[in-house]
Structures are given as structure tokens and as C-alpha cells.
Amino acid sequence: MAGLHIKRGDTVTVVSGKERGKRGKVLLVFPARGRVIVEKVNMIKKHQRPTQKLRQGGIIEREGSLHLSTVMVICPKCDRPARTGVQLLAEGKKVRVCKRCSEIVDKA
């Protein structure tokens, strides 16, 4: 399997489904499940039962996971969803680059 194209901290946009067009920062990646949690995207209401820690039960809102195939990294230069490729730097480090403009998508 090729490496994941999405990493924690990426700014991504949703490209399909009801959340299409929304942007946010990747908070969590679940590689085994092929899913990601994106900040403020796909908010779901969840019934929270009272617990020892949280005495007050009720409805809480939190991010629901999205399938990896429905999100794409936003290229900081194009400011558009970008297909990414991998480029090997001189130091032997691999970085993801935008296939459109070759801008490095990874943050240092």
C-alpha cells in the first residue's frame, strides 16, 4: 500500500459527500480504518450519558470521521485541493509535493 496522502495537521478540503467544500485541519488519522477527523467538519450530535467525570449528560457535538478518499490536501500555493506526489530531498527526506505546481505541501 502506498503511504497515506493525509497527515495530521494538514489543511484539507472535503471533495465529496454532504460536507463537500468544507475545509479544516486534520486532527486525527486512523490508518487502519482509512478515516480521518477534520476540525469542525462533519459535526455530529452524540448523546453523552452522565459519567463519573462528566456528571451532566446530554447532547454533545463532536467531529465524526470521514473516509480518506473524501478529503484532499489543500496546496498552500494553489489554494486548491491538490493531488500530491512524493519528492525525495537531498537529505534523503521524503516530502509531499503538489503535482500541479510542485510546491511542498509538508510543513517542515
Residues that bind Zn ion (CB under 5 A): 75, 77-78, 98, 100-101, 103
**Residue 97 CB: number of other CB atoms within 10 A?**
19
Provide, rounded to whole angstroms, the least separation between the CB of residue 104 and Zn ion. 10
Nearest approach in angstroms of CB 106 to Zn ion is 13
Minimum CB–partner distance for residue 5 and Zn ion (Å): 14
> Which whole-number Å values give the CA distances from 21 to 17, 37, 47, 94, 103, in the listed order?
9, 15, 27, 29, 22
In the bound state with Zn ion, the residue whose beta carbon lies nearer, of 71 and 98, is: 98
DSSP bridge partners of 104: 97
